[in-house]
């Protein structure tokens, strides 16, 4: 990368407005500890040293369904925190405290000039429902007790709205990632009509909360959620979509189909990043930047994240396509 790189968050904002940035922009939800230690003393520092205009950060003050400790080791599709309504009502729900958010934000490292933080969710509506009931039980409850499913979704969703609002209200945060995995390889995790009943309405409100502060939202959703693309673009009004897999919808095809409606964020399949040579990876990254050069609405990055098994030289080969154009 160029030694004189200076972050400019406005370039990412241009992409999320489906405009052409002044130079290539990079995006990752997160990298891995090896990368962080190699390129910085903190994950935040590594983001900026590697040429990103932001760093992602997760802070929260929420009590939501999670599987922890020994139970986490044996969690299965049927593991459940709530067996019935009594369990749900006995759970220690807590609204987030704005003062805690202010203090945690104040404790973050000072940003470089031009840089911003991007916030994310500590839990999600669909993910929280799966944790609360177990996946198979959730599928049955959508038919057997939809009122209980709706009540748990509301308990989770309304607190995530508060979380999104409190994060977006802080000046140092420039955008929000709303992360919730909505699909498997072939279909959505719940039927599309159930997604629209229990999940989508809460993301409409979360996006509205972030937009009320003049800041954009990025949906991070793995899996085949493309049957919901109209909901994502026209109902929720997300600004960007992140997470792509070649076996579901290659990022190049997603760009051709949807970049006039939503910014395409990242997209180079993690399996491709892991198995191909640096030269092959650089060529694909170059082609993506060339494809989007005139129209914009594209941010270079992986299809999901940079886990430990991605060789460093492959990851850096992808980034070099952006560095060479700066």
Residue 242: count of CB within 10 angstroms of its CB? 27
Note whether 54 and 7 are within 8 A (CB): yes
What DSSP designation does 300 have?
B
Amino acid 55: pLDDT: 98
Note whether 109 and 44 are within 8 A (CB): yes
Helices (H), the chain: 9-16, 33-39, 43-49, 69-73, 85-90, 98-106, 125-133, 135-144, 146-168, 192-194, 200-211, 229-230, 251-258, 270-275, 278-291, 312-323
Amino acid 75: pLDDT: 43
Nearest partner of 154 among 101, 89, 231, judged by Cα: 89
pLDDT in tens, 28-64: 999 999 999 999 989 999 999 999 999 999 999 988 8
Both structure tokens of 22: 């002044």
Nearest partner of 58 among 43, 74, 46, judged by Cα: 43
**Alpha-carbon distance 16 to 105, whole Å?**
24
Note whether 321 and 289 are within 8 A (CB): yes
pTM (whole model) above 0.85: yes
Note whether 123 and 68 are within 8 A (CB): no
Q: Longest C-alpha distance within the chain, in Å? A: 60
Both structure tokens of 100: 């805690």
pLDDT in tens, 49-108: 999 999 999 999 988 886 554 344 344 456 788 999 999 999 989 899 999 999 999 999
Amino acid 71: pLDDT: 42
Domains and CATH numbers, the chain: 1-57+244-326 (no CATH), 59-240 (3.20.20.210)
**Alpha-carbon distance 171 to 204, whole Å?**
22
Low-confidence ranges of the chain (pLDDT < 50): 69-76
Note whether 322 and 26 are within 8 A (CB): yes
């Amino acid at each position: 990368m160029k030694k004189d790189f200076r972050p400019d968050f406005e370039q990412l904002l241009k992409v999320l407005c489906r405009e052409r940035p002044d130079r290539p922009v990079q995006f990752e939800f997160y990298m891995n500890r090896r990368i962080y230690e190699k390129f910085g003393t903190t994950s935040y520092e590594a983001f900026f040293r590697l040429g990103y205009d932001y760093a992602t950060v997760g802070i929260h003050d929420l009590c939501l369904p999670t599987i922890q400790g020994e139970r986490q080791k044996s969690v299965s599709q049927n593991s459940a925190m709530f067996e019935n309504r009594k369990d749900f009502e006995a759970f220690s729900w807590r609204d987030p405290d704005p003062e805690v958010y202010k203090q945690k934000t104040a404790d973050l490292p000072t940003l470089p000039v031009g840089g911003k933080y991007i916030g994310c969710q500590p839990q999600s509506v669909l993910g929280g429902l799966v944790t609360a009931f177990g996946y198979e039980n959730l599928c049955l409850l959508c038919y057997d007790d939809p009122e209980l499913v709706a009540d748990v979704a509301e308990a989770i969703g309304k607190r995530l709205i508060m979380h999104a609002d409190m994060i977006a209200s802080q000046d140092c945060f420039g955008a929000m990632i709303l992360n919730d995995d909505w699909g498997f390889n072939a279909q959505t995790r719940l039927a599309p009509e159930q997604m629209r009943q229990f999940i989508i309405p809460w993301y409409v409100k979360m996006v509205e909360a972030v937009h009320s502060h003049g800041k954009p939202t990025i949906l991070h959703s793995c899996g085949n959620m493309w049957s919901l693309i109209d909901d994502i673009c026209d109902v929720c009004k997300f600004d960007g979509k992140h997470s792509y897999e070649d076996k579901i919808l290659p990022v190049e095809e997603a760009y051709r189909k949807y970049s006039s409606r939503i910014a395409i964020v990242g997209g180079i399949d993690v399996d491709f990043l892991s198995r191909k040579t640096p030269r092959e990876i650089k060529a694909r990254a170059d082609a993506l930047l060339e494809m989007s050069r005139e129209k914009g609405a594209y941010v270079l990055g992986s299809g999901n994240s940079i886990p430990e098994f991605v060789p460093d030289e492959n990851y850096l080969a992808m980034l070099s396509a952006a560095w060479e154009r700066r």
